[in-house]
Each structure stands twice: as C-alpha cells, then as structure tokens.
Chains A and B, each alone.
Chain A
Amino acid sequence: MELSDANLQTLTEYLKKTLDPDPAIRRPAEKFLESVEGSQNYPLLLLTLLEKSQENVIKVCASVTFKNYIKRNWRIVEDEPNKICESDRIAIKANIVPLMLSSPEQIQKQLSDAISIIGREDFPQKWPDLLTEMVNRFQSGDFHVINGVLRTAHSLFKRYRHEFKSNELWTEIKLVLDAFALPLTNLFKATIELCSTHANDASALKVLFSSLILIAKLFYSLNFQDLPEFFEDNMETWMTNFHSLLTLDNKLLQTDDEEEAGLLELLKSQICDNAALYAQKYDEEFQPYLPRFVTAIWNLLVTTGQEVKYDLLVSNAIQFLASVCERPHYKHLFEDQNTLTSICEKVIVPNMEFRAADEEAFEDNSEEYIRRDLEGSDIDTRRRAACDLVRGLCKFFEGPVTGIFSGYVNSMLQEYAKNPSVNWKHKDAAIYLVTSLASKAQTQKHGITQANELVNLTEFFVNHIQPDLKSATVNEFPVLKADGIKYIMIFRNQVPKEQLLVSIPLLINHLQAESIVVHTYAAHALERLFTMRGTNNATLITAAEMAPFVEVLLTNLFKALTLPGSSENEYIMKAIMRSFSLLQESIIPYMPSVITQLTQKLLAVSKNPSKPHFNHYMFESICLSIRITCKANPEAVGSFEEALFLVFTEILQNDVQEFIPYVFQVMSLLLEMHKNEIPSSYMALFPHLLQPVLWERTGNIPPLVRLLQAYLERGASTIASAAADKIPGLLGVFQKLIASKANDHQGFYLLNSIIEHMPPESVDQYRKQIFILLFQRLQNSKTTKFIKSFLVFVNLYCVRYGALALQEIFDSIQPKMFGMVLEKIIIPEIQKVSGQVEKKICAVGITKILTECPPMMDTEYTKLWIPLLQALIGLFELPEDDTIPDEEHFIDIEDTPGYQTAFSQLAFAGKKEHDPVGQMVNNPRIHLAQSLHKLSTACPGRVLSMLSTSLNAEALQYLQGYLQAASVSLL
C-alpha cells in the first residue's frame, strides 16, 4: 500500500464502517482491514490518519486499530515470519513518541500503550534513543506532554517490580537509571516547586499531582530490585520531599466524593508504599529517615476521616506501622506509654468501629458479610489492618497494650450500659477489640488456637457475652448477638466446657432470630461445638448432655430453614447433619417429621440446585437418618424407600445431574440394609443402570459402581436367573471402565464383585475374554494403579476358582502365559499392593499358587517357585499401612479426598470394608505355614530341598518364624 491520499481515503471509509452497529456492514470492513494489515505502510497510514484526519472519531478509531495491530503483530516469534516490515518498524519508532505527546489524551493513551508493547520487545537494544527522546520532553514545561512521558515510562518500568533478577534485566535497569534517574529527580523537585507557586490554582494542581503520583510510582519501580547508587546518594531529596507531601493538605484537592479516592489520597498511598519498600529492603540506609515517616504516617492516620475513599490509604498506612513496630530496633519508637496510648486511641480504636457501610452489609448483603467476617476475606479492610497493628504491637508490648485497651473496653462498655439502644456500636467495638487482642493464631477448623494470656476470656464471656444472649428478645441488637455468637465460636477452645454447655440452649434459641447473620452464626457455632474433641478423640459434647435439647434443637434447625433468606442455608444444613451424627438414636422419635421435611426440601431444591454445599449436607443428613434408624430397626428401610423413591424417580427422570450421583449413593445404602433377597423394585431398575448414557458422566461412575456392587452382593443369583441376558451389558460396563486410566480401578471393583458373587456357571463363557481384555491393557498401557488392581483381581480369582484353574485359563490363552505373568508381573510387582485386605487377598492367592498348583512343582514353572515364595514373604514383611480410625463424624466437605464438582462422596453413605477372604483365612502367615506343611506332606523332601538351596537367608528366617507360630514343621 502506498502512502497516498487515495489509500488514506479508502482506509477512512473502512474504519468508519467498523463502527457501524450493523454487523452486515461492520464485519466485512473488519475482515478487509485484517486482510491488508500485512501490507507495507499500513501502520503508517493509520498513524497519518490518527494525526491528520478531519474527523475526530476517525482519529480515535485509527489509534485503537493501530494499538491492536501492534499488539497482534509487533512481537517476532521464532520460526514465524516477521509480520511488520523493517522500514515500517523504523518509521513507527521514529514517529510515535512525538505523535503520542502531541495528541489529545484519548489518543495519547492508545499510543502510550502501543509504545510499551513495542518497548517490551525492542527496548533497550533495538530502541536506544527512546529514553533520551522521553527525557528531553521533561524540559518542555508542558505537563500534558510530561504526563504522557511519565505514563509511558511507568508502563515500561513496572515489570521491574515482579521479575526475577537477571543480568539482562539489571543491564536494562542500569541503562534506565543512567538516563532517567537524574532528570526524574529534577522533575520531581521542579514539580513540587510548581505545586507551591500554583497552590491556589485548582486545575494546575490537578495536573501537577497527577505527575507526582506517576513520579512516585516510577520511584517504586526503579528502586524495587535493589537500592540504586543514584537513589542512595539522593535519598535526602526524595525522602524529605516525600515526607513533606505526606503532611501536605490543600483544600483545592479535597474531593466531595465519599467513595472514590482523590489525587491526594492516591499520592499519599503510593508514598506509604515507597516508605514501606525502603523500610523492608534497605533498612540500613533508610534508618535515619524512618522515625520521621512513622510520625508523619501516624499523624496522617489521626487526621484522616472515616469515608470509604480513604480506605486504601488508611490500610496502607496502618500496615506500614504494623510492619515497622515488629522490628526490634524500632521498638523504641513505640515504647513510650503516651505514644502507645495515642496509637491505640487514635489509630486502632477508630478504625475498628462498625461503620455505616458495615451495617448496610449486615442487613442487606448478609452472605457477603458472613463471608468476610467468618472466612477472613477482609484483607484490605481497615478493621483488618487495625487488627494486624494490634498483633504487631503485642509482639513487644503485650502487657501495656492489653492494659490500655482494657481501659478502652471498659469505658466503651460503660457507654453502652448507659444507653444500649443508642450506644450499641460501642459494645461492638469493645468485643472486636477484645477478640483482636486475644487471638494470636486461628484456623477455620479449630477457631483460636493461641490466645493472649493477659485477657480473661471466660470472665468477659460470662459478664458481657452471655447476658446479651440470655436476653429474652432474640431480635434486639442483632449485631451484638452476632458478635456474641462469634465470640463463642472462635474462643470455643479457650472457654471452659461448662460455659459452652450453658451456651448451647442460648445458641439453639438464636436459631429463631430473624437476622440472617444471627441465625446463621448460631447454626455455625453449634456445628463447630459439636465437632470439638474431648478425651479419647470422642466429641467433647456428648449425646447424653444434649438429651434435654434434642427436640428444640431439631425444631429450631428446621424452622430456621423456613426463615426468609435461609431456605438453602448451608450452615444450617451442616448443623443438621452434625446434630444427627452426634445425637444418634435419640433422633429416632422425631424421624417421621424429619424425613418428611428433608424429602420436601429435596423435592424443592431439585427444581434448581444452586447451593452445592447445602445439597451435599442435605444428602448426608438423609444418609444419617437411614443409618441411625435402620441400625435400631432394619425393617424401617421399607418406609424410607417409600418416602424417598418417589422423589428419586423424579430426579432420575428429570435428569437432575447434580443430584444423580447422590441418589445412587443413597440407593446403595438402602439396598445394603436389606438382609434378604433383592426386592423386585430394585430389579426393575437394573437394566437402566447399565445404560451407556449414565456411564458417560464422570460423576456417576463411582456411585453407580458402588450401586452395582450392592446389586451383586444382594442379588447375584437373581441376576443370573432372571437377567442373564444383561450379563454381557454388565461386563460391557466393566470393559468401558477398564479402557480408561482414570476409571480402571472402578472397573476392577465391579469385576471383583462379579467374580466373588456371581454363580460360576453364569460367567463361564466370558472368563477367558475378561483375561484377554486385562492382558491387552497390561500390554498397551500399564500404570501402577492398574497393576495393583490387576494383582488383587488375579489373586481373588485364584482364591475363588483355585490355582489350577488360574494356570489353565492363562495357558489356554497363550502357551506359557502363566509363567510369564508370574515372572514379569506378580513376582516383581507384588510389593506395590497396598491396603490390608488387598494384601491379604494376594497372600492367600499366592499361597494357593505355591501349594495347590501341581504344575508349579513339576514343570518348567518350578523355577519360579522360590522367587514367588520370596516375593510373598516380602509382601508380609513390608511395613503395614496405618489404618485410619473411624473419623467420619468429624468429616468436612473440604476434607473429603474425592470431593469434586462432578461427584461428591457422601461420608455417611460409607461402605464398610469388605474382606472376601475374611472367613477363610485369619492370619495369612500361619495360613502359608500350614499350606506348606500340607504340601511337604504330599511330596516329602521336595519343599525342604528347594528352600535350603535357593531361598535367601533373611526370608528363610522369617519363614521359620511362621512355621513356629503355626506349630508345624516341613518334611
């Protein structure tokens, strides 16, 4: 494309079209521009247009198009063609800076962005004169131009704040410092002087302060990696001026806006950051200036108002003080009692106050309020910063600070007592202060774990928290009630148990409060109390202690779910689950009403499931209801089925994907409760469970496998007789699962159940195919997980069908197959098997191969006999896995290992571990000894001679131990 008027005209027309709201016009124009952007001169045409076009809209459009063009094309990617020709690149770099600086702001911003994109690639090597060109403009005196330069510099240099040190990076920074540091410093001084000469000119001040903010930002970037020599030498200039800017105020710069921070706040915030950077990294050099900054920042805090627009400045400033006061060598700055008092009084207390904005959130946006207050997403808030400062000060001055605050707490409480309805915020601040003073360490799971010993938490609790909660009116002063409940919650490990027991009825009572925050906190507090551990790892609060409150607890919990705003409140549902789990059989009398309410809730939320945690705890509660009731009365399973199946059917029919995995788990639980033959209602469903569409969803697989296992356990013979035509479909599911590396273990669960429970004749015709399939996986993509499952299955098969049958079926697939599997898979890999039951199955299976498989004694397989025995002894002598005790009461959704969006394992639908060889073999070592004894009796001398010639000494020693324990000897 030539740089001709005609082309400019064409381009103008197309640019105009790209602004057209009609896509039929816009799209082709965009397409056209894209098609010509590879042509030489295209970017130069755009630059010409953005400078010279008659229409402003075209100028802006050209500048945006130009920036996007640069973004897409400037970078030269290795092995890809250079998308912008060299002469265009040179021309762009030669013209863009003056063009940017002479353009109106709207266009300047686009060009400034473009410069930084180019700079990221070309600066400094391929754009050596950029810096000089920029620096020269500092002398222009035109702050429109200067701010353009500063903004561009900021976008070029800000990466110094986060990149790793490297020679390349530091070379660049050095170059920048050499060219830029001195002019920047001069500009800084000149700008400050101009600020005082124009102190009465609002519009000039605004421009000048924008420059100062950018200069302060550049200072931060240039000083980030290390303290440059230049800035060390000129620290006096910079710090003195920063310091005086911190103390500066000018009415003309104050803004009326309550929310948005003004220029003055932004500048001071950045200066706080700069001071914090120096204090953290260059302490040695910064030390002489630091005390001045501490005083200035503290004065700043004392004089800054409560408006939201100051929040960032205030929390930055407080964080600065918090980080300094922890350092041993600055201790003295804070040591003085007057200083401490003043900081406490004027900095900490005011910033802990409950503000109008907090009150608004408490009432109208309670979910957000709870998230911030309970879950600690309050990092940048003033309250949080004030809290951090308290903690910092407590490091050296715990005693004095506690003393000062005690005075405040008392006077605030007195204020409150004088007129509670007007002064309730004073009490809120008092409670907050006590909390922040007392808590040294905290976790979600356990609340406060380390407390300030100087604060008497129990006394405060008894005198100031309990009275509020004991008040007859649960809806009065909701904020204070929430504070009180939160106090119990977080100090639950510090307050003695008898006080917790006193609180329980109070908490139950507050489940009725109208305020969402209050009843949510009450439910959450109860739930947390119920998970506390007492002695012997049992719950601290026992079912017996809860006996008097069972009815009211259950009633209030379910009633709380009907309060406005809480119909799917996860904290309440979790409290229901935890209560069931704690109370156990004492909930049985209330079961008819409970299960009705739960099914109604289930029906209601299944229309539009939106709260995953609520749903999860709801299903857990259903499982608990079933388990607790059926444990006492197994016959009751029928009534649960009656109550639930209707809803379940609806969920399955409407394909409520979120709930289907849960439904399968509950059904498994119900089916396992049946002692007799499988009911026909379940059998009718069986073919549907094999539908491929169900198995395509990841989340369905574990619960469906679990359900099919329940079918096989309870109804294998029914399936064999009444649904024999479905067996290929069942094995098809197995094949589908085994084909996936992620789900193969699930396939093995299913296969193990089939082999264990199905009558042998019903699967006879498929057995060989099963092994062929497994061998294929083994050959093509074996993983450790697959091998472990495979070994367990092979040995289970051996236990069920006998070692000879195993050998025969292997060798019928391919000659010498049995030997190959032993040698290449079983012997080398058996030690990988983990899990007690799994190891036991393998031990029994291998024992059978060793002692009940004649080909092992008299064919070429004999050479594998000793290695196999040795592998078995190795399996025995590996350190045992520690079994995990029954901890399900304490379970949390976040702890569940399998928790994921697609499928959530229900802890209370848990399957008891099944040991298929449990009855047959108690101690597998003794079983080995006895089996060897039997073998040696059958062929005297053979076993002994094999052992003595080839078994290694260590293994032999273990073996002798087994024989002794079994009181047998070998012949």
Chain B
Amino acid sequence: VRKHSQHMKLFKNKGKDETSLRRQRVEVSIELRKAKKDEQILKRRNISIHVKEENPTLGQGRSFEIIQPSLEEIMEAVNGDDTELQLLATQAARRLLSRHRDPPINQIIELGIIPRMVEFLGRADNAGLQFEAAWALTNIASGTSEHTRAVVEGGAIPAFISLLSSPHMHISEQSVWALGNIAGDGPLFRDALIARDVIPPLLALVSPATPIGFLRNITWTLSNLCRNKNPCPPLDAVKKILPVLIFLLQHEDKEVISDSCWAVSYLTDSCNDRIQVVVDTGILPRLVELMDSPDVNVVTPALRAVGNVVTGTDQQTQEAIDAGVLTVLPRLLRHTKPVIQKEAAWTLSNIAAGPCQQIQQIITCGLLPPLVELLSKGDFKAQKEAVWVVANFTTGGTVDQVVELVRSGVLKPLLNLLLAKDSKTILTILETISKLFMAAEKLGETEKLCLLVEELDGLEKIENLQNHENDMVYRAALDIIEKYFSGEEMTDLEPQTGQDGLYDFSVEKEDFNF
C-alpha cells in the first residue's frame, strides 16, 4: 500500500476499494531525495545592496571607505550607549549577515546581541537604527530553525508586528520580511504570530498604491502564514487572509500571483472542510486559468492548489471540473517539465477516483490520448502517477468506459511498465490488468483480451513476474496466469467411503426448514 495508506481509511469513499481512493498529498516523514527544487522558498535572506545608498543616516565621508569592525567591537558597540556607534555596529553586523557566502549567523548569535537589537527595533526616534536592526534580525531569522528561534526568543515578534505600522515604508517592509521568515519556520511560530494578531496590520498594508516590491514581500509573508500542517493555521485567520489572497490573485505581477497561488495551495492541502472554505470563495475558475499560464512559476502552485482540491469530496472535485480543470490538463500532461507532468497526472488520478460521471468527463474532454502518451514516454515519476490514473479509472469506470480506455491504446504502455523497477507500480498494474479482465469477462471478450495482452508482449512479462522477489507481485502475476492463461482448474473432491461392492443408496430423514 502506498505511503497514503493510513490516510486512505479516513478518506475512503463508500463502495470503492482502497486502490481507487483519492490520494491525498501527505507529507512524507522520510525522504531520500534532495529537498524539492520546485517548492516555494521557506526563508529568505536580504542580500540586496541598493538599500545602502538610500540609508539616510550614513555619514558622508564614511560611505566610501567602510571599515569592517571585528565581532568583539560590534558586540561592545551594540551594548554600549553611543547611538552613533550602535548604528555603525548594527550596520556592520547587518553587512556581515548580508554577504553572499557563509554569513556568520552563529557567531553573531553567540555575541548575545539579539535582545539588544530587538530593543533597537523600538527606537522610533532613530529610523536608521530601527532599519538596520530589522535587516540584521531578518537575516538571522532566515537561517536554521535554531537561528529563527534565537530571534523569537529575543522577543522580536511583538516588536516587528508593531513596526508594521511604522511611518517609514522601508522599515515596515523589512518587518514584513522578518515576520515572513519567522512564520516560515513552522506551525509553532506561525501560530505565535497569528496569536499576536499579526494579520490585521499586515493586511492593512495591501492597497492599490502599495509599490510592487513591497507587495511581493507581503504576499510571500502571507503565504508563509498559510503554510505548514500539523496543525494547519487557525480557521478564523484563514478566513481573514482569503479575501486578500483572492484580490492578489488578480494582480498582474507574476511573483505576486505565484506566491498567492502557493498560499492557496497550502490552504487546500488539508482536510475536506478546509478545501471547502477555499472552494466557497469561488476562486477555482481563476486558479484553473492560472494553470494555463505560460509562466512555470505560476503553473506549479496553481496546479498544486487545484490538485489538492480534487483530493476532496466528489462535489468539490466536480467544482474543479466545472471550473475547467479537464480542459487544461492535457497540455500539462504534455508539459516539458517532468514535475508538472507528474503533478498533472496525480491530479487526474484523483479525478479518475470519482464516480463514473466524472470519469465520463475525463473521456469527453479528451484526456485519454495525452494519458497514453504520458504512460508511454513520460518521465518515470509521471508514469507512476499515470498508472494510478488507469488503476482508478478501471476500478470506478463502467464497462463501456473501460472499453474506451482500452481502445485508446492504454494497454501497450501499461504492459511495458511491468518492467519498471518499482514493485508497487508493478503490483498496481497487475491489479489493473485483473480488473480489465473482469470487465472483459462481463462482455464475453476474455479471449480477445488474452490475445491482446499476449500480442503486446504482456503475457511474457507477467509470466516472468512469477519469479519476482516480492511476494505480492509474484502472487498477483500467478493469479492472472492461472485465471486467464492456463485454463487449468483444480477440483477438490471430498471422497465418501462406499460400502463393499457398489455404493449403497440410503438416506435418513430429518426436519427441513429452508
């Protein structure tokens, strides 16, 4: 059973067997792979340099020859009382933390100056100092969980939240960024922020006049406030954020749209009730439209969001279908990026897990040809998902629909994938073949299917799988061979002892009651 097994029971549709269930996106606790490259960035460091020029507090003569003080000097100055030195030291720390390679986050933390910098955040009289401290803390918070924790434990949360309303836009923006890093760390800090009422002042920053760079930062921070599960963000927070997200999704900037989509994808990666909250906003048609965007950074999260929606109830899936997801999927199944193919196939597999009316729409919308193409020449990750599409389709489809599927040429690539180096995929295919045979039996076409399977070199592959090391694979293969390709049938007779000579015919009467 796939990694989703424990969840399957929870989402089980009545009357369907396990393989046909919608397969939720479940966080794998164990991953062998490198962290996914297509994920949205969790924490970001501010390494831009142009801000320096705008820095109003820099002394004229100094800006040209920057002397980098030692860490001890920084510590002394930060802890000292000289405001100018405080600023210079904070700035020096910020510069260290902003350098491209190996920022000395640990060393800075070890100086123990975080509480002091948090204190600087409150210096409404010294905007320069506020800004430098905010920047430095942002970059510390962009590190590992421990780094972020150091900032939070230094008391930064309330300080940054109040800075959201700073009259200086660059300070307010830097605070948004810092809060984004804190929220991105995980559900614990995210909820700590929400509990401190971060949302209203944050949302208040969004207006048609907000400069685009600032708006991107806000959107990203909002997306981190929607992110992470176990638990998922509180419902009333989500309800507050959603209208703004919908507004942002209409924006023309690709980055704003992309991060808004990511936010929606996090919100839908959850139980059906949460999916419903998103569906109720009527955002699905826009998301589907965005799935068709030329920009892969928009397509990826939009596809994820819609893909999550169709893990939900039949009704929720129907809403996605009505929004047009099936007309966009063919192109995505043929996308040049393997991850997109894979996500698209995963989405389709969950639609195929629905009732036969939805399966019919898969056929009507012309999804079978791209599915067959994907099965035969897609990337292996995508092929695996495509196998699930076929498996679910065969489980839930009517006999006519299954016939249509076979007619579309699915059998050849499906049988070829019996050579895949993945036991679970092989097992799923074998189970699917059994179901195809069940459909063929209903039509009295078993023999035809047998010939077809043999003709496509499937019989030989199934026969070889009888030597597979995996017990379940071996059994499934054996079962198909015995049932459909051997004709042998064993009877087990319970012999009754006869008397001498011939059998003796005699019966004793008993009371009958049927």
Contact = CB atoms under 8 A, between A and B. Distances in A.
B488 A899 contact: yes
A769 B203 CA distance: 90
Contacts of B514: 778-779, 820-821, 824-825
B379 A284 contact: yes
A882 B444 contact: yes
Nearest to A693: B498
Contact of B464 (A167, A326, A379, A739): A379
A883 to B, nearest CB: 12
Contacts of A690: 502-503
A900 B488 CA distance: 5
Given A224-B421, A736-B498, A376 B460 contact: yes
Given A726-B502, A773-B507, A779-B514, A445 B496 contact: no
Contacts of A735: 503, 505, 507
A778 B503 CA distance: 22
Given A779-B514, A821-B514, A896 B487 contact: yes
B32 A174 contact: yes
Interface stretch (A436-444, A540-548, A633-641): A436-444
Contacts of A809: none
A176 to B, nearest CB: 10
Given A226-B33, A281-B380, A446-B451, A692 B488 contact: no
A896 B37 CA distance: 57
B30 A814 contact: no
Interface string B145-161: 00000000000000000
Given A379-B460, A882-B444, A894-B487, A162 B468 contact: yes
A166 interface: yes
A824 B420 CA distance: 53
A446 to B, nearest CB: 7
A776 B377 contact: no
B421 to A, nearest CB: 6
A776 B33 contact: no
Interface in A762-790: 766, 769, 772-773, 775-776, 778-779
A232 interface: yes
A10 interface: no
Interface string A228-268: 11001100000000000000000000000000000000000
Interface residues of B, number: 59
B64 interface: no
A728 interface: yes
A901 B338 contact: no
Contact of A444 (B454, B493, B506, B512): B454
B199 interface: no
B59 interface: no
B510 A776 contact: yes
A327 B379 CA distance: 10
Contacts of B493: 698, 701, 740, 742-743
Contacts of A162: 423, 468-470, 473
A713 B221 CA distance: 91
B82 interface: no
A338 B113 CA distance: 70
Contacts of A443: 451, 454-455
Nearest to A741: B494
B509 interface: yes
30 contacts: A159-B469, A161-B421, A162-B423, A164-B427, A165-B424, A167-B30, A227-B33, A228-B32, A280-B420, A281-B421, A376-B460, A379-B464, A443-B451, A729-B505, A735-B503, A739-B496, A740-B493, A740-B494, A740-B496, A742-B492, A742-B494, A769-B507, A772-B507, A779-B512, A824-B514, A899-B487, A899-B488, A899-B489, A900-B488, A900-B491
Nearest to A699: B491
Given A696-B495, A779-B513, A171 B503 contact: no
A858 to B, nearest CB: 24
Interface of B: 1-3, 28-34, 338, 377, 379-380, 420-424, 427, 444, 447, 451, 454-456, 460, 464, 468-470, 472-473, 486-496, 498, 501-514
Interface residues of A, number: 86
A813 B495 CA distance: 28
Contact of B2 (A165, A173, A446, A820): A165
Contacts, number: 172
B33 A229 contact: yes
A896 B447 CA distance: 12
Given A167-B30, A232-B33, A729-B501, 8 more contacts: A159-B469, A161-B469, A226-B33, A280-B420, A281-B422, A328-B377, A379-B464, A901-B488
A222 to B, nearest CB: 9
Main secondary structure of the interface of B (DSSP, over half): loop
A672 B469 CA distance: 53
Contacts of A687: 502
Chain B CB count within 10 A is highest, among A224, A696, A732, for A732
Contacts of A773: 507
Contacts of B444: 882
A441 B509 contact: no
A159 to B, nearest CB: 8
A166 B28 CA distance: 10
B505 A164 contact: no
A277 interface: yes
Nearest to A319: B419
Contacts of A114: none
Please provide the 3 A-B residue pairs with the shortest distance between their CB atoms, ordered closest to farther.
A732-B503, A729-B502, A692-B498
A821 B512 CA distance: 10
A280 B488 contact: no
Chain A CB count within 10 A is highest, among B424, B468, B509, for B509
Contact of B455 (A161, A164, A449): A449
A177 interface: yes
A732 B502 contact: yes
Interface string A687-704: 100111001101001000
Contacts of A449: 455
A467 interface: no
A762 to B, nearest CB: 14
A895 interface: yes
B32 A229 contact: yes
A647 B422 CA distance: 57
A734 B509 contact: no
Interface in A697-734: 698, 701, 726, 728-729, 731-734
Given A164-B423, A171-B30, A741-B494, A441 B469 contact: no
B3 A165 contact: yes
A453 interface: no
A772 B509 contact: yes
Contacts of A376: 460
A592 B512 CA distance: 60
A227 B464 CA distance: 26
A733 B32 contact: no
Nearest to B384: A281
A690 B499 CA distance: 12
Contact of B509 (A328, A813, A894, A895): A813
Nearest to A810: B512
Interface string A322-343: 0000111000000000000000
B253 to A, nearest CB: 30
A566 interface: no
Interface string A809-835: 000011001001100110000000000
Nearest to B509: A772
A25 B192 CA distance: 79
A163 interface: yes
A900 B455 contact: no
A814 to B, nearest CB: 6
A731 B505 contact: yes
A441 B492 CA distance: 39
A743 B496 CA distance: 12
Contact of B487 (A225, A282, A897): A897
B38 to A, nearest CB: 11
A280 B511 CA distance: 68
B512 A227 contact: no
